[in-house]
């Protein structure tokens, strides 16, 4: 039976938490303050402590530090009504397993508790929960704060850093968690189709519109809409998006009646929208409307202390029912030293390959099986007399290989738009993205 010590000075809240844990089969002890909590813990160690931060005779940080000193294996979850980014960073650096802002939804607390005890770790969300780097803790804490509000969020970060995972985390922690989460990639559609994809259309609105179709905004009604790579949105559509964000109503193609929508927008971009505004390729008013809560995710290069922990997670994930391979010391050193232009996505792809090719212990021999091929491609591309088309193709292939097939990062490194990269891949008949990685 799972055990938990609940530390809460509000008697009503304490009783409610104890009752909820009890209904799910947990054995619960409670304490009304810091001194009582530490006295109870010293008498009988618990695998999990859930504690309020602010209490009359001390605080949850004090409880956390003493619990970690007495029993480093014990998990600690902090609860507070006064959430702040510095507090969250302090909590995580001090050894807390999670940090939740009141009012706490018990289902979320229960999921966190199960994660701490090694159960019910959802693979899709797990990378969001891994890491101790201050920059990463700051970003996750900011995401948790954003989730509590209904304001729109703009996530600016390099490709592969986990923008969609953080967007989903914000939705899952928000009051809209039981409503739809709808994602649309603004770079995946030509301008003629993107408008219909976003706003919907009526029957006969254009050639081929044999029936009406709701857009992504309508499908996300009541929930969260993720506008992925919003920097790729064509300029002519930007005023229409701005109107929806301001008025929370839209016009379907072919319809004269506006449709009200209740949505929360999370937008992501791997480009600097501020620089795009200066260059005239993105509207300033739309940028300011999206950028209500700005959120920047660190690159993997900025959180090197998390690389091995993430690699171990992906090794467990891709090993499946087989025994998880051990990362050799040489393997650990090598992955810590890499620059990781494709960030966490590149690391995930490398670990998938390493698990598939390696044995019970992973060595550096599984890291770069294609390096010789890349060198050959480079030499071939630079021979005198080689056509510009061949050089362009080779350069595109090499950059795709270097980024693990990340098309957005490839576009950034080559100084062209994502749409150009997609068109060139099609024109040159290059392998499908599954041969590299997912965007």
CATH of the domain at 324: 1.10.8.60
pTM (two decimals): 0.62
How many independent structural domains does the chain possess?
Answer: 4
- Domain match, 176 and 259 both: yes
314 and 234 in one domain?
no
Domain edge (last residue) among 296, 319, 350: 296
Peptide bond connecting 30 to the previous residue in cis, omega within 30 degrees of 0: no
**Enclosing domain of residue 219:** 142-296
- The answer as to whether 168 is a domain residue is yes
* 202 in the same domain as 99: no
Residues 152, 249: one domain? yes
- Is 130 contained in some domain? no
Q: What is the mean pLDDT of each run of 10 residues along the chain (439 residues)?
A: 89 93 91 91 82 90 85 82 64 72 84 72 61 87 88 94 91 87 87 84 71 83 93 92 92 81 95 94 95 96 93 85 86 92 91 86 77 44 63 80 78 80 81 52
In a domain, 360, yes or no: yes
Token pair in block for residue 373: 């091929």
Q: What is the CATH number of the domain that holds 108?
A: 3.40.50.2300
**Residue whose pair of structure tokens reads 């989903």 in the numeric block:** 168
Q: Are residues 291 and 161 in the same domain?
A: yes
pLDDT at residue 357, rounded to an integer = 81
pLDDT of residue 433: 57
- The CATH number assigned to the domain holding 377 equals 1.10.10.60
Whether 305 and 288 share a structural domain: no
What pLDDT score was predicted for residue 419?
84
Rounded to 5°, angle at Cα 357 from 355 and 359: 70
Phi and psi, residue 260, nearest 5°:
-75, 140
Question: Is residue 88, in this structure, part of any structural domain at all?
Answer: yes
**Co-location of 188 and 288 in the same domain:** yes
Residue 233, in any domain of the structure:
yes
- The closest of 280, 270, 286 to 152, measured between CA atoms, is 286
pLDDT at 432: 61
| 205 and 283 together in one domain | yes
Is 100 found in the same domain as 59?
yes
Question: Can you give the length of the chain in residues?
Answer: 439
Q: Residue 284 belongs to what H/E stretch? A: helix 284-290
Does residue 178 belong to any structural domain of this protein? Answer: yes
Helices 60-70 and 34-43 meet at what angle, rounded to 10?
Answer: 20
**Read out DSSP for 348-416?**
HHHHHHHHHH--SEE-GGGT-TTHHHHHHHHHHHTSTT--HHHHHHHHHHHHHHHTTT-HHHHHHHHTS
Q: Decide if 129 is inside a domain.
A: no
Shared domain check, 408 and 348: no
Residue 163 is predicted with a pLDDT of 94
Residue 210 burial (10 A CB sphere; 0-12, 13-18, 19+): exposed
Rounded CA gap, 348 and 242, in Å? Answer: 36
Give the C-alpha separation, 115 to 287, whole Å.
Answer: 37
Q: Do 172 and 287 fall into the same domain?
A: yes
The separation between CA 223 and the C-alpha centre of its own chain, rounded to angstroms, equals 18
List phi, psi (to 5°) of 8: -155, 125
**352 part of a folded domain:** yes
Domain boundary among 333, 366, 399: 366
Which whole-number Å values give the CA distances from 391 to 147, 198, 379, 414, in the listed order? 47, 38, 10, 13
- Shared domain for 362 and 407, answered yes or no, is no
Q: What is the pLDDT of residue 120?
A: 43
pLDDT for the residue 318: 83
Looking at 337, 366, 395, which one is the last position of a domain?
366
């Amino acid at each position: 039976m799972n055990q938990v010590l609940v530390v809460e000075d509000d008697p009503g809240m304490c009783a409610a938490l104890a009752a909820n844990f009890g209904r799910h089969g947990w054995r619960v002890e409670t304490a009304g303050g810091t001194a009582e909590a530490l006295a109870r813990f010293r008498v009988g160690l618990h695998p999990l402590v859930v504690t309020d931060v602010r209490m009359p005779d001390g605080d949850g940080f004090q409880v956390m530090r003493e619990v970690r000193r007495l029993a480093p294996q014990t998990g600690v979850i902090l609860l507070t009504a006064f959430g702040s980014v510095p507090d969250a960073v302090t909590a995580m650096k001090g050894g807390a397993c999670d940090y939740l802002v009141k009012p706490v939804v018990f289902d979320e607390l229960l999921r966190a508790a199960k994660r701490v005890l090694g159960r019910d770790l959802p693979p899709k969300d797990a990378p969001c929960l891994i890491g101790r780097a201050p920059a990463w803790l700051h970003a996750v804490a900011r995401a948790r704060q954003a989730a509590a509000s209904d304001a729109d969020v703009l996530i600016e970060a390099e490709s592969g850093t986990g923008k969609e995972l953080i967007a989903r985390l914000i939705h899952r922690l928000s009051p809209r968690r039981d409503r739809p989460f709808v994602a649309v990639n603004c770079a995946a559609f030509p301008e003629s189709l993107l408008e219909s994809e976003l706003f919907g259309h009526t029957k006969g609105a254009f050639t081929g519109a044999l029936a009406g179709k709701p857009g992504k905004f309508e499908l996300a009604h009541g929930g969260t809409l993720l506008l992925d790579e919003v920097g790729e949105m064509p300029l002519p559509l930007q005023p229409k998006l701005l109107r929806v964000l301001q008025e929370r109503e839209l016009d379907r193609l072919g319809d004269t009646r506006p449709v009200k929508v209740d949505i929360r927008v999370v937008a992501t971009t791997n480009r600097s929208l501020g620089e795009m505004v200066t260059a005239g390729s993105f509207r300033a008013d739309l940028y300011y409307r999206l950028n209500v809560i700005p959120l920047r995710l660190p690159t993997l290069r900025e959180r090197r202390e998390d690389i091995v922990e993430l690699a171990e997670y992906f090794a467990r994930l891709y090993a499946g029912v087989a025994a998880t391979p051990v990362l050799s010391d040489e393997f650990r050193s090598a992955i810590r030293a890499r620059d990781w232009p494709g960030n966490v996505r590149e690391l995930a792809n490398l670990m998938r390959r390493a698990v598939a090719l390696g044995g019970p212990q992973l060595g550096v021999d599984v890291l770069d099986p294609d390096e010789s091929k890349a060198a050959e491609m480079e030499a071939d591309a630079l021979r005198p007399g080689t056509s510009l088309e061949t050089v362009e193709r080779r350069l595109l292939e090499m950059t795709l290989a270097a980024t693990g097939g990340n098309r957005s990062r490839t576009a950034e490194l080559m100084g062209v738009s994502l749409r150009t990269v997609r068109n060139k891949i099609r024109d040159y008949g290059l392998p499908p993205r599954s041969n590299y990685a997912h965007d």
